[in-house]
Amino acid sequence: MIDTNRQDYKKDLEEVIFMFSSGENISISHFEENDGKTFKDKFIFLGKEYNFTNHKQIDGELELKRYEKRFSKLGLYKILAEHFKVDYEWGALTGIRPVRMAYSLKNDYEKELKEVFYVSYKKIQLVKDVLKTQENIIDKDGKYSDLFVSVPFCPTRCAYCSFVSEEISKCKHVDKYIDTLVYEIENSLKLCKNLRSVYIGGGTPIALKNEQLIKILKVLQPALNGDIEFTVEAGRPDVITEEKLKILKEYKVNRICVNPQTFSDKTLTLIGRKHSASSVIEKYNLAKNYGFIINMDVIAGLPEESFSDFKNTVDTVINLNPDNFTVHTLCLKKGSILKEKVKRLEIGEISKMTDYAYNSAKENGYNPYYLYRQKYAADNLENVGYSKPQKECVYNIDVMEETSNNIACGANAVSKRVFKEKNQIERYGAPKDILTYINKVNEIIKAKEQLFS
Ligand SMILES: C[S@@+](CC[C@H](N)C(=O)[O-])C[C@H]1O[C@@H](n2cnc3c(N)ncnc32)[C@H](O)[C@@H]1O
Ligand code: SF4
């Protein structure tokens, strides 16, 4: 915990503490003062006083607030990094969108990431690579929209997963949910100006029965002009069937995911995925026959996995040659069953894994094209999407960099309107709970109409 005179960014300081300790047993006091030119931070930790001073000319109130906060965070990071003898690759950067930050820092981003956040050269290079891949794709003028549809159901829950989703056989309201969702989509299509992608995400959308899935796909058809990008996060190989693939194809879906997470059967059992490694390959080949652009998700740092397990996963993915693959770093919320079970890997081991994925991707013609970070990620590392040239998923870029409007439908879906001129984003989040969502759908539709009016 931290006792600070800067309540306005206490939470940000707590995030730095959390990087090192999950918040337990650390007690720090902090006093910050500045006159707009000289910035002073005093910390007391374990009875010792630490002082940091910097002189810098800052123009504008907003910039000043930003700098005060960043300078305090860096001071705290330095104290804890020294105490715990750990240096994280992302340094004092706690934000989840480093690339978006680079866009906002414009030409100064490299210097700022290095000097104000202590980000490593390697991660700055990663940000640079992503910016380069996004160069001709990013919605510079904020003129596009994307449509998101949330299907928060799964065949069963995987032990590590932090997404909001229910086991489909245990939910009594699936039909009612689908009907409400279809109604909301019908009423949302008029809000989609210059639509450039549609994304049905999960959960596992194809865990639905055929007729439920078709209802959603049908109502989306008027939005699908030309060969607009249309993704379904098919996901778990145990529910990918030839019948489902045919349906997706018939309704103009052009991208899907077939997610291994790992190619170790032992790990798959441990994390509660009800499929084998070989079934991933079988379903991938089946989906390939239908001509979908395919993404494969993998996770670095899964329980009991060594570097060679992860290397085997990446090598197998690259051998299969999908258009995209995404490398997540395991991120376990406090109190989750798996968190209690997982043996923490040595600091640096997961970094070796993500470095291997990065290097192999580049050697095999993939570029990193989007990047984000999550709280509680092992070693504070990141998630990176890799793509063959011209096969990038535009939806992922738009949603991560928050450059386009997002019209989101369903429980827990967050709609965003981008005001490019004001450099501002307004959001509306629908309720997480399925029944609350069903009962409030008219209110939700109205709120979204207001957001996009
Ligand atoms: C919304 S999930 C949907 C994927 C799909 N249902 C499946 O299981 O194949 C998207 C991805 O997030 C990643 N993911 C989920 N929970 C995670 C966690 N706790 N740590 C790291 N990655 C996670 C997985 O790679 C997963 O494929
Ligand atoms: S990883 Fe996928 S299938 Fe597993 S619980 Fe999460 S969303 Fe559901």
The phi-psi region of residue 41 (left if phi > 0; otherwise alpha if psi is between -120 and 50; otherwise beta) is beta
Decide the pairing of beta strands 293-300 and 367-373. Answer: unpaired
Strand partners, 55: 38
Kindly report, residue by residue over 90-122, the tens digit of the pLDDT. Answer: 999 988 899 999 998 888 899 999 998 999 999
Q: Most distant CA pair in the chain: distance in Å?
A: 68
Instruction: Report which residue type is found at 87.
Output: D
Contacts 24+ apart (CB under 8 A), 312-316: 312/263, 312/264, 313/260, 313/262, 313/263, 313/264, 314/356, 314/357, 314/360, 315/360, 316/260, 316/263, 316/277, 316/281
Predicted pLDDT at 342: 62
Q: Is the CB of 233 inside a 6 Å radius of any atom of ligand 1?
A: yes
Predicted pLDDT at 384: 98
Which atom of ligand 1 is the closest one to the Cα of 161?
16
Contact of 300 with 330, CB cutoff 8 Å: yes
Query: For the whole prediction, is pTM greater than 0.75?
Result: yes
Side-by-side strand order, sheet with 28-34: 2-4, 28-34, 38-45, 48-55
Predicted pLDDT at 22: 64
CA distances from 393 to 55, 96, 137, 202, 294 (A): 43, 19, 10, 16, 10
Predicted pLDDT at 343: 61
Best of 167, 236, 299 to mutate for ligand 1, by most ligand atoms within 8 A of CB?
299
Question: Whole-angstrom Cα distance, residue 79 to residue 399?
Answer: 35
The residues, ordered by sequence, that sit 6+ positions from 193 with a Cβ below 8 Å of its Cβ are 145, 405
Tokens of 404: 């386009």
Q: How far is the CA of 90 from the centre of ligand 1 (A)?
A: 22
Kindly report, residue by residue over 4-47, the tens digit of the pLDDT. Answer: 999 999 999 998 998 887 656 788 999 999 988 899 999 999 99
CA distances from 68 to 13, 37, 80 (A): 12, 10, 19
Name the residue with the closest Cα to ligand 2, atom 3.
154
Kindly report, residue by residue over 331-381, the tens digit of the pLDDT. Answer: 887 645 566 566 665 668 899 999 999 999 999 999 999 999 988 888 889
Question: Whole-angstrom Cα distance, residue 171 to residue 153?
Answer: 8
Predicted pLDDT at 29: 94
Q: What 3-state DSSP class applies to 100? A: helix
The full length of the chain comes to 453
Q: Which residue ranges have their beta carbon within 6 Å of ligand 2?
A: 154, 157-158, 161, 163, 165, 202-204, 235-236
Nearest-5° Cα angle at 283, 277 to 289: 145
Residue that has been written with the tokens 């979204």 in this structure = 448
Strand partners, 50: 43
Tokens of 14: 């707590």
Q: Is the CB of 273 inside a 6 Å radius of any atom of ligand 1?
A: no
Tokens of 392: 């990038």
Q: Which of 197, 198, 222, 217 is nearest to 206 (CA)?
A: 217
Predicted pLDDT at 444: 98
Q: What 3-state DSSP class applies to 97? A: coil
CA distances from 189 to 147, 178, 424 (A): 8, 16, 23
Name the residue with the closest Cα to ligand 1, atom 25.
297
Instruction: Report which residue type is found at 276.
Output: S
Residue ranges, the chain, pLDDT below 50:
335
Q: How far is the CA of 372 from the centre of ligand 1 (A)?
A: 14
- DSSP conformation letters of 115-145: HTT---HHHHHHHHHHHHHHTTTS-TTS--E
Residue 185: DSSP 8-state: H
Contact of 117 with 91, CB cutoff 8 Å: yes
The count of C-alpha atoms lying within 13 angstroms of the C-alpha of 89, restricted to the half-sphere facing its C-beta, is 23
Decide the pairing of beta strands 153-154 and 166-167. Answer: parallel
